[in-house]
Structure 1
Amino acid sequence: MNSDSSPVLPLELEREIFEGAAICCPQTIPSLLLVSHRVYEWIEKIKYRTVTPTGDHSTCSYDTLMRAIQSDSKSPSFFRAHVHHLYIRPYDETDEVQEILHVCTGIQSLALIRSNIPSFLLPTLATLRPQRLWGYFSFLLDKKDFGQSMFIFVTHLTLWEISRQPDRDIPVWLSFLAMFPSLTHLKVPSLFKTTLVPHILASSKMLEVLVKDSSLSGEELYNVDDRYVTLELRGVIGQWVMGARGGNDFWARAEAFIAKKRRREIQPDWRYWIEDADGI
């Protein structure tokens, strides 16, 4: 009997198993990289896919990505092709942020959680084409000269700051949102003025979901468009990673609620906040 008669998996199936393990359990990536040369080549491309500050819940930490870029061990094209989702912290060094964004131009989902973005970083941001964008962008409300090319493919926009000029809120915000021609999903913070909601929904026909971050249900907003949902957003980084991986994040929950509402499964039928009993 041949001692080498142990089962051998087809290469395609073997690759699918290892890549699936890396995606579902990112903490296994360091071990998977040591299995063999071919597995290393498969998994290394996944290693830098989703980057968060510490690497928790994701495939890579911010510092790991930074070291890889600065080591010059890989060409810029590698990072352009394989870094898909990037979460930038408020206190990350701006020079490092610029270096990362200059190289990782293929980012699909970007979280830029910092309220003060220096003007010299704007040209670098303008070269990106993300589909999902998180951050503090009120500073752009009056910057009509900012390259709108960054916004052209954004479908999901999560805002973490609002305008503090009540008398200018409606026209300024509508003008700002008009800079996102592909926008279908919009999340606004809890302090966002409820009076703006009907105006946004009326002016944004492509908008499918408008989420307001809120733990309160008594907003007294009746007969509102069924695209409007309020929910409490918990675990920001976890939600961001879940969305990057196509999981049941707050967008998915809001979509499920809207679908239930349209099937008349939500009572009272004018309710726009999610409750535990909804099973979403």
Structure 2
Amino acid sequence: MNSDSSPVLPLELEREIFEGAAICCPETIPSLLLVSHRVYEWIEKIKYRTVTPMGKHSTCSYETLMRVIQSDSKSPHVHHLYIWPYGGTDVVQEILHVCTGIQSLALIRSNISAFLLPTLATLRPRRLWGYFGSLLDKKDFGQSMFTFVTHLALWEIAGEPDRDIPVWLSFLAMFPSLTHLMISSFKTTLVPHILASSKMLEVLVKDSSLSGEELDNVDDRYVTIELRSIVEQWVMGARGGNNFWARAEAFIAKKRCREIQPGSSLLS
């Protein structure tokens, strides 16, 4: 063997190393893009994978994403998009119109403009976060977009009146693939109705940080948890990390194995 020869890794392993570095440490992406032509082709697709309003959680900024979209040079591969606060409805519509491969979408704002509904209807996310109370009267809203959603997080106004329970149950019935549900700021009285009516639901998480109410419920699908950083939890889930849904699954598994008292629902 020539002593001057450098070790050569199989391309599959080399690609896995570079892509893993880009996913785990997005801040290294600009440098990784300069390594070689083949590494550029691998990493360029990851560059636009996760977009959030906070730079440290993004693989690229909103500004970078918009420059690519407006240049018409390519369709960026955006898998995880967190929009808050909006940069204007026109900007959001432009992003959603181009980024059709979104797998997880967060629309964290108190109102979703009806102007966005036709564009939203073209998406097929698996994970969806947002405020939807203002859209409950729009019966045809999002039915196609909801088809493949497995993980839904609802961020609503505290103190939803009991008379709205049938409306919310009808809304949740529009999610045929739903397995995980997180509700924040709802009255606790809504929870038993969801558990009773959601036969396919595997995990129901309720945010306890905004309410001191306790629910005496033995249904092992129910977990109460205190949430802190919404963006960090969302990004952690997008990367397959140990976010509140993963922690709730582990908590429920321990209850079913009797490692935790069956009637317990509070996850610290």
TM range (shorter): over 0.9
Q: State the shift of 1:118 in Å.
A: 1.8
In the other structure, the counterpart of 1:229 is 223
Query: What SS class does the counterpart of residue 9 from structure 1 fall into?
Result: coil
CA distance in 1, matches of 2:210, 2:50: 32
In the other structure, the counterpart of 1:201 is 195
Q: State the shift of 1:91 in Å.
A: 3.3
In the other structure, the counterpart of 1:278 is none
Unmatched 5+ residue regions in structure 2?
none
Question: What per-residue deviation string (whole Å, max 9, x for no partner) do you get for residues 112-158 of structure 1?
Answer: 11222221211000000000000111112111022410101110000
In the other structure, the counterpart of 1:107 is 102
Question: What per-residue deviation string (whole Å, max 9, x for no partner) do you get for residues 190-211 of structure 1?
Answer: x311111111111101000111
Identity of aligned residues (%): 85
Alignment map for 1:1-280 (pairs within 5 Å):
2=2, 4-74=4-74, 76=75, 79=76, 82-162=77-157, 166-189=161-184, 191-215=185-209, 219-267=213-261, 269-275=262-268
Q: State the shift of 1:177 in Å.
A: 0.5
CA distance in 2, matches of 1:16, 1:210: 35
TM-score, with structure 2 as normaliser: 0.94
TM-score, with structure 1 as normaliser: 0.90
Q: State the shift of 1:216 in Å.
A: 7.5
CA distance in 2, matches of 1:129, 1:235: 26
Q: State the shift of 1:7 in Å.
A: 1.4
CA distance in 2, matches of 1:216, 1:176: 23
Q: State the shift of 1:224 in Å.
A: 3.2
Query: What SS class does the counterpart of residue 224 from structure 2 fall into?
Result: strand
CA contact (8 A) 1:52 1:88 kept: yes
Decide whether aligned partners of structure 1 residues 127 and 217 sit closer, same or farther in structure 2, where only a CA change above 3 A counts.
closer
Unmatched 5+ residue regions in structure 1?
276-280
CA contact (8 A) 2:112 2:131 kept: no
Query: What SS class does the counterpart of residue 151 from structure 1 fall into?
Result: coil
Q: How many residues align?
A: 268
CA contact (8 A) 1:230 1:272 kept: yes
Q: State the shift of 1:219 in Å.
A: 3.1
Q: State the shift of 1:4 in Å.
A: 4.3
Q: State the shift of 1:55 in Å.
A: 2.6
Query: What SS class does the counterpart of residue 267 from structure 2 fall into?
Result: coil
Amino acid across the alignment from 1:152: T
CA contact (8 A) 1:54 1:62 kept: no
